[in-house]
């Protein structure tokens, strides 16, 4: 074990002593759990779609070191570094997002993916965390100097991002981005009246989605009345959780992975419940809650508004995505294709999450100036 | 103050426009404070959500909060628990075997063609095109195959097809095969009773399964049933009969110990494969003119009404001509016959006159009293409605007296017969095991009438038409019956329904045995005769020969019934003394 002296002023040493090692450990543990569950769940899916049994496992394991590198690399950044990376990433992401409908691949009725030399990426995954940081900077800038048109620019950017996402269409991602943005705006001092208006607007948009997009209305109808249509995946997921009991059927003994098309992705939580039991699920919940709430706690000690808003945005994104995914698995929410961060299969999503959490780690590093604005 | 971001540079340059720095810093501080407070709110919201999620997980794991999927729910409605059925001695005659049934949720099937091909490969009985049609339907639930064997289930399971699932079901199984087919009946594929005891007691069987009350015990005895069915089958073969029916009844409490109808079927096989003839329960659903067996009722009613005494007699020298009909004797004595002689020689002429002496009204009232004119309710849905003539005139009275004109089911015949030999009490027959002890019944004749009938019935076997049924030492008594089967063009001389009804031991009957053969043909041994005395009586004899030892009855050297007969017939048990002067 390499020991680093506290007096060591090297970059690595400074990082090691200032980074939130507990959060880092929790994230790495989630990624490890994800790799394990992927091994359990994805061979069944791979077999079903006719690729080599460990196709998904291999891909995920190839992405994992890359993701860890991105995570740690990003966490080495200073607050300014994070801001710059986010701005650059957001800019590139926006361009790719705009390009997706033109050059992207259509999968299951939506065009969300771009092929970049054998690598398929989902630009929206990268827009999501970088936009949170950019929005934080814009809101903070407005507070710092009322003459800086941060709010207006943030609103314009949100409209742009949501517009691009709706074009794919990706209602879930658009909703997520909007919710996180609203949360940040709220923290940045948005008057409560506006917040209520914002919430109403959100409900209105959802209603619009319900009316205009058939798959959205289907899902909500089915959630409200399970007998009205296809609740197959959530039914099976519920049965799996019930079957698993507290200690699970044992690794590899699960059956849902054989029948759930999305066992390795959106319904990985159900696989975990069936094979490893509810206690394992509780561990996963605790890990997500830990990472989210600890980020909030660290951020509240931050004296810089930007850091506070950025961390809150990133943590909200991370925690909300995890919550929604798990809530869908236990049928507390209508089915929504949202992955479980770090646990579900998905290379591009893994890298984007690593980037986001890397930024979160960077911004929650202990700073001697308490993170005060310069 | 080491880094200078673009934003900060921007703000700094704006600050240069004249805003005091300290105010901005104060404002930012306040903003941070506000953000912190609001963040605490967001954090609480998050913590609460995570706790709800954890609670939900615990709830599902602990209480099974999951509703079964729609398909499985639908399937569960098809599966109902059913109690086992056992015979009177506890032998298992109907039980359930766990099986799996295959269903599909077509909307969850990803590749219809591939799924159909794979399933047809695993279950060769299924047709690919048929499967494809089912799997392509827009419904959420279709059965694909019911009652899979474990190996088949494993085979399909191994395919790992999405949208394909199993429901655990139970399949009704009858370990005795066709032995009790007509009593037990059968269930449909959803385990709902649709015939026999399974149908009548459907509710009871299901309730008993839910209450965990154990099996349902029938009055039947598989050993007695096996004897009855085997001997009936033997006679059907020997006499090349179309079919046969028989039953064994306990006259003291109405319990049916055996009940068979041939041809029968195997309820374990799909019932649709059985013919109508096989599924027809002759014993309880079929109504037949029982022929001379009715003379038992005629004689008993004449004695009971006091119309005749044993010393009376009727002139049987010449056939009776009524309207355009002629009533003849099958075993003509062509002389004056005493009442016992009329009975034991089975004289149609004598019986017709006896019936006429009783009169139409009283005859009908008596037959009604012994339960021969109404359907006999039983623990079976297959119960026949007796047929009686629309107008009950003098001719009818005469023909009914010797067993033509009224059609009844074999089981009600046996029940009425039992009343005449058990001391005069009509006891409702049952297929369910009765608790020991006296069973309430309805008195239909005096005890003395019953006593005389026992003696007369014994005499039929000793000296009359029923000699073929005699089993030495067991005091068998009984009556033959040979009816010409009715057809659209009247009675057919060549198509007989040959029966024998017996009770034994005659001093205190413990068993009533009825055998009816449908269109038996005479053999060399019977000198070509196919009447009840030549075909059904020996069948009854063989049944009694095997049944009596089974119930621990040993043959006795001196039969007590002979003493009774001596008293009844005035100092003699021989026929000679009974002859009319």
Count the neighbouring beta carbons within 10 Å of the beta carbon of residue B24: 18
The residue among B218, B238, B268 that closes a domain is B218
For B1-14, the three-class secondary structure string (H helix, E strand, C coil) is CCCCCHHHHHHHHH
Catalytic residues of B: 292
pLDDT for res B206: 84
Test B39 with A188 for CB contact under 8 angstroms: no
Q: Provide the shortest C-alpha distance from residue B138 to chain A (in Å).
A: 10
So what's the pLDDT on residue B77?
Answer: 46
pTM score of the predicted model: 0.56
Q: What is the pLDDT of residue A86?
A: 93
pLDDT at A300: 83
The answer to whether residue B55 sits within a structural domain is no
Asked if A370 reaches chain B (Cβ–Cβ under 8 Å), the answer is no
Give the pLDDT confidence score for residue B23 in this predicted structure: 59
The whole-angstrom distance between A1's CA and the closest CA on chain B is: 33
Assess whether B229 and B212 both reside in one domain: no
CB pairs under 8 A between A and B: 186
pLDDT (mean) for A78-94: 91
Q: Are residues B433 and B485 in the same domain?
A: yes
Question: Which one of B172, B191, B218 terminates a domain?
Answer: B218
Give the span between the Cα atoms of B464 and B302, in whole angstroms: 20
Total structural domains in chain B?
2
Specify the pLDDT at position A224: 62
A195 contacts chain B (CB < 8 A):
no
Return the pLDDT at B547. Answer: 93
A186-190, A212-216, A259-263, B6-10: the lowest-pLDDT one: B6-10
User: A225 at the B interface (CB within 8 A)?
Assistant: no
Residues B173, B460: Cα–Cα separation, whole Å: 44
Residue A272 has pLDDT above 50, yes or no: yes
Coil, helix or strand at residue A335: coil
Greater pLDDT, B128 or A227: B128
Own/partner contacts of A65-73, CB < 8 Å, gap of 24 or more, are: A66/A351, A66/A354, A67/A31, A67/A350, A67/A351, A67/A353, A67/A354, A68/A28, A68/A31, A68/A354, A70/A351, A70/A354, A70/A355, A70/A358, A71/A24, A71/A27, A71/A354, A71/A355, A71/A357, A71/A358, A71/A361, A72/A24, A72/A358, A73/A358
Give contacts of A331 with chain B, Cβ < 8 Å: 66
| Any A CB within 8 A of B53 CB | yes
pLDDT for B70: 46
- Is the pLDDT confidence value at B576 over 70? no
CB B218 within 8 A of CB B179: no
Query: What pLDDT score does A367 carry?
Result: 67
Residue B14 has pLDDT above 60, yes or no: no
Cβ–Cβ below 8 Å for B108 and A230: yes
Q: Let me know whether B211 and B232 are in one domain.
A: no
A163 preceded by a cis bond (ω within 30 of 0): no
**What are the φ/ψ torsions at residue A3 (nearest 5 degrees)?**
-105, 135
In this prediction, residue A368 carries a pLDDT of 52
Q: Chain A: residue nearest B29 by CA?
A: A303
Q: What ipTM, to 2 d.p.?
A: 0.88
Q: Is A312 on the interface with B (CB under 8 A)?
A: yes
Query: In terms of Cα–Cα distance, which of A68, A110, A73, A116 is closest to A92?
Result: A116
Residues B103 and B157 in one domain: yes
Q: pLDDT tens, B216-275?
A: 999 999 999 999 999 999 999 999 999 999 999 999 999 999 999 989 999 888 777 888
In this structure, is residue B36 part of a structural domain?
no
Output the CA–CA distances (angstroms, integers) from residue A255 to A239, A329, A330, B57, B161, in the order listed. Answer: 10, 16, 17, 19, 11
Beta carbons of A330 and B53 less than 8 Å apart:
yes
Task: Choose, out of B21, B41, B44, B60, the residue to mutate when testing the contact with A (most A CBs < 10 Å).
Answer: B60
Name residues 24-43 of chain B within 8 A of A (Cβ): 24, 27-28, 31-32, 34-36, 38-40, 42-43
Of the pLDDT bands very low, low, confident and very high (cuts 50, 70, 90), residue B575 is: low
Residue A374 — pLDDT band, cuts 50, 70, 90? very low
Do B481 and B400 share a structural domain? yes
Same domain, B211 and B229: no
* Model pLDDT for residues B52-69, shown as the tens digit of each residue: 999 888 888 777 654 544
For residue A45, the distance in angstroms to the closest alpha carbon of chain B comes to 10
Instruction: Answer yes or no: are the C-beta atoms of B261 and B275 closer than 8 Å.
Output: no
Most confident of A73-77, B19-23, B29-33, B574-578: A73-77
The DSSP element (H or E) to which B426 belongs, if any, is strand B425-426
Alpha-carbon gap, residue A350 to A315, rounded angstroms:
16
Q: What are B301-348's pLDDT values in tens digits?
A: 999 998 888 888 888 888 888 877 888 887 788 888 889 889 988 899
3-state secondary structure of B504: strand
Residues B203 and B250 in one domain: no
User: If you average pLDDT over every residue of chain A, what do you get?
Assistant: 81
The CATH number of the domain where B521 resides is what?
Answer: 3.40.710.10
User: In this predicted structure, what is the pLDDT of residue A215?
Assistant: 67
DSSP letter for each residue of A41-102: HHHHHHHHHTS-TTHHHHHHHHHHHHHHHHHHHHHTS-HHHHHHHHHHHHHHHHHHHHHHHH
Decide: B293 and B281 in contact? Cβ < 8 Å: no
Residue B281 included in any domain: yes
> A296 touching B, CB under 8 A?
yes
Domain range enclosing B85: 76-218
Q: Confidence band (pLDDT; 50, 70, 90) for B24?
A: low
pLDDT digits 0-9 by tens, B357-393? 999 899 999 999 999 999 998 999 999 999 988 888 8
The nearest alpha carbon in chain B to A261 belongs to B162
Q: What average pLDDT does this structure show over B492-500? A: 85
Are residues B500 and B516 located together in one domain of the fold?
yes
Looking at beta carbons, which residues of chain A come within 8 Å of B10? 141, 145, 148
Percent of chain B with pLDDT over 70: 91
Query: Which of A47, A236, A304 shows the shortest C-beta gap to B69?
Result: A236
Confidence of residue A231 (pLDDT cuts 50, 70, 90): low
Minimum mean pLDDT range among A99-108, A315-324, B17-26? B17-26
Q: Is residue B18 part of a domain?
A: no
Residue B4 has pLDDT above 70, yes or no: no
Task: Judge if B310 and B433 occupy the same domain.
Answer: yes
Query: Are the Cβ atoms of B32 and A305 closer than 8 angstroms?
Result: yes
B67 located within any domain: no
Nearest in space to B155 (alpha carbons), one of B116, B195, B121, B125: B121
In-domain check, residue B417: yes
Residue of A nearest to B71 (CA): A232
**Whether B136 and B210 share a structural domain:** yes
- Looking at the structure, tell me whether residues B97 and B231 fall in a common domain: no
Asked if residue B231 belongs to a domain, the reply is yes
pLDDT band at A228 (very low <50, low <70, confident <90, very high): very low
Query: Which residues in chain B (354-393) have CB-CB distances under 8 A to chain A?
Result: none
H or E element, residue A305: helix A305-329
Which of residues B218, B234, B260 is at a domain's end? Answer: B218
CATH of the domain at B126: 3.90.1310.10
Alpha carbon of residue B26 to chain centroid: 95
Verify whether the Cβ–Cβ distance A293 to B47 is below 8 Å. Answer: yes
Residues 6+ apart with CB under 8 A from A163: none
3-state secondary structure of B481: strand
Is B439 an 8 Å CB contact of chain A?
no
pLDDT, tens only, B159-180: 888 888 888 878 888 999 899 9
Given this model, what pLDDT does residue B536 score?
92
Question: CA geometry: angle at A153 spanning A200 and B16, to 5°?
Answer: 130
Rg of the Cα atoms in chain A: 21
Same domain (yes/no): B269, B344? yes
What average pLDDT does the segment A179-208 reach?
A: 82
Grade residue B518 by pLDDT with cuts at 50, 70 and 90: very high
Most A-contacting residue of B19, B27, B50, B59 (CB-CB within 10 A), to test interface: B50
pLDDT, tens digit (0-9, with 9 covering 90-100), for A140-178: 888 878 788 888 899 999 999 998 888 877 778 888 898
pLDDT at A113 over 80: no
Cα angle: B456, vertex B460, B461; to 5 degrees:
120
Residue B192 lies in a domain: yes
Shortest CA distance from A80: residue in chain B? B5
On whether any CB of chain A is under 8 Å from the CB of B45, the answer is no
Ramachandran class of B519: left when φ > 0, alpha when ψ lies in -120 to 50, beta otherwise: left
Confidence of residue B517 (pLDDT cuts 50, 70, 90): very high
**Maximum Cα–Cα distance for chain A, whole Å?**
66
């Amino acid at each position: 074990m390499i020991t680093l002296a506290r007096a060591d002023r090297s970059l690595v040493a400074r990082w090691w002593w200032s980074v939130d090692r507990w959060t880092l450990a929790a994230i790495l543990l989630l990624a490890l759990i994800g790799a394990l569950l992927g091994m359990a769940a994805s061979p069944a899916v791979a077999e079903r779609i006719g690729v080599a049994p460990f196709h998904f496992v291999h891909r995920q394991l190839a992405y994992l070191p890359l993701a860890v590198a991105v995570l740690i690399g990003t966490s080495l950044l200073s607050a300014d570094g994070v801001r710059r990376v986010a701005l650059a990433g957001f800019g590139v992401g926006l361009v790719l997002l705009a390009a997706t409908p033109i050059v992207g691949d259509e999968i299951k009725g939506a065009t969300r993916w771009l092929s970049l030399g054998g690598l398929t990426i989902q630009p929206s995954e990268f827009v999501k965390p970088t936009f949170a940081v950019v929005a934080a900077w814009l809101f903070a800038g407005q507070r710092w100097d009322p003459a800086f048109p941060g709010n207006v620019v943030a609103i314009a950017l949100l409209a742009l991002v949501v517009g691009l996402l709706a074009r794919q269409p990706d209602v879930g991602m658009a909703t997520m981005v909007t919710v996180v943005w609203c949360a940040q705006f709220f923290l940045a001092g948005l008057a409560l009246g506006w917040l209520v208006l914002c919430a109403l607007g959100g409900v209105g948009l959802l209603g619009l989605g319900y009316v205009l997009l058939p798959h959205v209305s289907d899902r909500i109808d089915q959630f409200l009345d399970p007998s009205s249509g296809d609740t197959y995946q959530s039914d099976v997921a519920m049965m799996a959780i019930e079957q698993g009991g507290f200690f699970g059927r044992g690794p590899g003994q699960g059956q849902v992975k054989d029948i759930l098309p999305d066992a390795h992705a959106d319904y990985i939580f159900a696989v975990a419940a069936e094979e490893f039991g509810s206690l394992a699920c509780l561990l996963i919940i605790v890990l997500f809650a830990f990472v989210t709430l600890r980020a909030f706690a660290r951020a509240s000690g931050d004296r810089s508004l930007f850091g506070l808003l950025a961390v809150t945005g990133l943590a909200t994104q991370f925690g909300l995505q995890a919550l929604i995914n798990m809530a869908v698995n236990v049928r507390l929410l209508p089915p929504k294709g949202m992955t479980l961060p770090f646990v579900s299969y998905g290379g591009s999503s893994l890298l984007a999450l690593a980037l986001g959490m890397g930024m979160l780690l960077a911004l929650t590093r202990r700073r001697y100036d308490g993170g005060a604005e310069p | 103050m080491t880094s200078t971001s673009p934003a900060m540079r921007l703000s700094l340059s704006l600050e240069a426009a004249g805003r005091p720095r300290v105010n901005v810093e104060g404002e930012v501080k306040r903003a941070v404070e506000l953000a912190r407070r609001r963040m605490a709110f967001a954090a609480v919201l998050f913590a609460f959500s995570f706790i709800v999620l954890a609670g939900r997980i615990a709830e599902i794991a602990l209480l099974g909060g999951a509703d079964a999927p729609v398909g499985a729910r639908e399937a569960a409605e098809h599966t109902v628990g059913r109690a086992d059925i056992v015979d009177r001695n506890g032998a298992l005659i109907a039980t359930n075997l766990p099986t799996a049934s295959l269903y599909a949720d077509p909307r969850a099937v990803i590749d219809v063609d591939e799924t159909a091909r794979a399933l047809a490969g695993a279950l060769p009985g299924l047709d690919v095109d048929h499967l494809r049609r089912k799997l392509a339907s827009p419904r959420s639930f279709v059965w694909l195959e019911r009652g899979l064997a474990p190996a088949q289930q494993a085979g399909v399971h191994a395919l790992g097809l999405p949208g394909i699932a199993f429901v655990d079901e139970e399949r009704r199984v009858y370990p005795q095969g066709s032995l009790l087919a007509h009593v037990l009946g059968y269930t449909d594929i959803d385990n709902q009773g649709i015939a026999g005891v399974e149908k009548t007691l459907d509710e009871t069987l299901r309730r008993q399964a839910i209450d965990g009350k154990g099996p349902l015990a029938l009055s039947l005895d598989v050993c007695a049933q096996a004897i009855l069915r085997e001997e009936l089958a033997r006679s059907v073969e020997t006499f090349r009969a179309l079919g046969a029916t028989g039953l064994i009844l306990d006259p003291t409490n109405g319990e049916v110990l055996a009940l068979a109808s041939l041809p029968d079927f195997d309820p374990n096989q799909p019932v649709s494969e059985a013919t109508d003839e096989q599924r027809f329960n002759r014993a309880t659903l079929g109504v037949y003119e029982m022929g001379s067996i009715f003379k038992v009722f005629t004689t008993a009613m004449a004695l009971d009404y006091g119309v005749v005494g044993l010393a009376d007699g009727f002139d049987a020298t010449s056939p009776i001509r009524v309207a355009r009909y002629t009533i003849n004797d099958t075993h003509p004595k062509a002389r004056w016959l005493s009442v016992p002689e009329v009975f034991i020689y089975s004289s149609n002429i004598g019986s017709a006159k006896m019936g006429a002496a009783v009169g139409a009204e009283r005859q009908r009232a008596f037959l009604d009293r012994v339960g021969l004119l109404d359907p006999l309710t039983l623990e079976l849905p297959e119960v026949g409605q007796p047929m009686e003539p629309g107008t009950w005139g003098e001719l009818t009275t005469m023909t009914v007296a010797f067993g033509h004109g009224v059609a009844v089911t074999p089981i009600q015949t046996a029940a009425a017969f039992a009343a005449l030999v058990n001391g005069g009490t009509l006891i409702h027959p049952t297929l369910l095991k009765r608790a020991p002890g006296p069973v309430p019944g309805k008195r239909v004749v005096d005890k003395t009438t019953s006593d005389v009938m026992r003696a007369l019935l014994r005499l039929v076997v000793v000296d009359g038409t029923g000699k073929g049924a005699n089993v030495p030492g067991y005091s068998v008594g009984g009556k033959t019956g040979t009816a010409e089967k009715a057809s659209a063009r009247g009675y057919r001389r060549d198509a007989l329904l040959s029966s024998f009804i017996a009770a034994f031991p005659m001093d205190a009957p413990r068993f009533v045995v009825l055998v009816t053969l449908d269109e038996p043909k005479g053999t060399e041994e019977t000198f070509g005769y196919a009447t009840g005395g030549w075909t059904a009586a020996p069948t009854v004899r063989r049944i009694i020969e095997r049944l009596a030892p089974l119930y621990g009855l040993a043959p006795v050297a001196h039969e007590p019934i002979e003493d009774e007969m001596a008293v009844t017939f005035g100092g003699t048990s021989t026929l000679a003394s009974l002859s009319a002067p």
